[in-house]
Chains A and B, each alone.
Chain A
Amino acid sequence: EAQVTQNPRYLITVTGKKLTVTCSQNMNHEYMSWYRQDPGLGLRQIYYSMNVEVTDKGDVPEGYKVSRKEKRNFPLILESPSPNQTSLYFCASSLSGLSGGKLFFGSGTQLSVL
């Protein structure tokens, strides 16, 4: 089944403790992206990747890192999480991000930073 898989589904952590949210897709998509969803603010893009080893900042990249060493994986890294990073995070992928293609979303990761 074609899907984008995010883990974990829920995560509670404390300020400053490094964490990684994993994202994997099995559709051989070139484009992958991370969003955060906050009430009243909609989805805001954190980082995106057009292909392996190519990553770019989105609208809200501060405090986040990403890597794209393999086509299928696009982990989101919070080196030193802070409470303002408490949010619902979504990973998404598409065949090609800039051609009007359909975005496939993961089920989300609810992160709470205490």
Chain B
Amino acid sequence: AQSVTQLDSQVPVFEEAPVELRCNYSSSVSVYLFWYVQYPNQGLQLLLKYLSGSTLVKGINGFEAEFNKSQTSFHLRKPSVHISDTAEYFCAVSDSGNTPLVFGKGTRLSVIA
């Protein structure tokens, strides 16, 4: 069964600094990868997804992620964070649509003014 590891449970970062949230998944021949964001007291929203094609995926709010098959990773990055990016971020993976999504445990990003 697929599994997802988000290596950092909490990431504090100063406003306008870059950030990387790490995500690794268990190996599979072909996967679909997702990042979801949860703002305080809200449900999750899709940030970006990788299904196939270019390994660099751009999402909403200036976020991007890079699919690295050899390292089984899908790290999320933003070059300059804002206070409004404070939220919990979830990485999720599916075996190319053959299985339901499996979510990681989440990374809480706190942006400090």
Cβ of A75 under 8 Å from chain B: no
Contact between B43 and A102, CB atoms less than 8 A apart: no
**Binding-face segment, B66-74, B76-84, B98-106:** B98-106
Cβ of A74 under 8 Å from chain B: no
A4: chain B residues within 8 A (beta carbon) = 43
Contact between A42 and B94, CB atoms less than 8 A apart: no
Contact between B43 and A106, CB atoms less than 8 A apart: yes
Assess A100 versus B97: contact at CB under 8 Å? Given A42-B90, A105-B45, A106-B43.
Answer: yes
Q: Which residues 58-95 in A have Cβ within 8 Å of B in the complex?
A: 58, 90, 92
Contact between A105 and B44, CB atoms less than 8 A apart: yes
B96: chain A residues within 8 A (beta carbon) = 100
For the residues of B in contact with A, the DSSP-based class is loop
Assess A103 versus B101: contact at CB under 8 Å? Given A90-B43, A98-B94.
Answer: yes
Cβ of B54 under 8 Å from chain A: no
What per-residue 1/0 map shows which CB atoms of A25-47 lie under 8 Å from chain B?
Answer: 00000000101000011111100
Assess A45 versus B106: contact at CB under 8 Å? Given A100-B32, A100-B94, A103-B44.
Answer: no
Cβ of A13 under 8 Å from chain B: no
Contact between A42 and B97, CB atoms less than 8 A apart: no
Q: In the complex, which of the residues B41, B43, B94 contacts A105, with contact meaning CB atoms closer than 8 Å?
A: B43
Contact between B105 and A41, CB atoms less than 8 A apart: yes
Q: Which residue of A lies closest to B6 (CB)?
A: A42
Q: In the complex, which of the residues B6, B46, B99 contacts A103, with contact meaning CB atoms closer than 8 Å?
A: B46
Contact between B97 and A98, CB atoms less than 8 A apart: yes
Q: In the complex, which of the residues A33, A42, A48, A102 contacts B104, with contact meaning CB atoms closer than 8 Å?
A: A42
Cβ of B57 under 8 Å from chain A: no
B87: chain A residues within 8 A (beta carbon) = none
Q: Bound complex: CA of A35 vs CA of B100, how far in Å?
A: 12
Cβ of B51 under 8 Å from chain A: yes
Task: Write 7 A-B pairs (CB below 8 A) sorted by A numbering.
Answer: A45-B100, A45-B101, A97-B100, A100-B96, A103-B44, A105-B44, A108-B41
A residues whose Cβ falls under 8 Å from a Cβ of B: 4, 33, 35, 40-45, 48, 58, 90, 92, 97-100, 102-103, 105-108
9 tightest CB-CB pairs across the interface, nearest first?
A: A105-B43, A42-B105, A43-B103, A100-B32, A98-B97, A105-B44, A100-B51, A102-B46, A42-B106
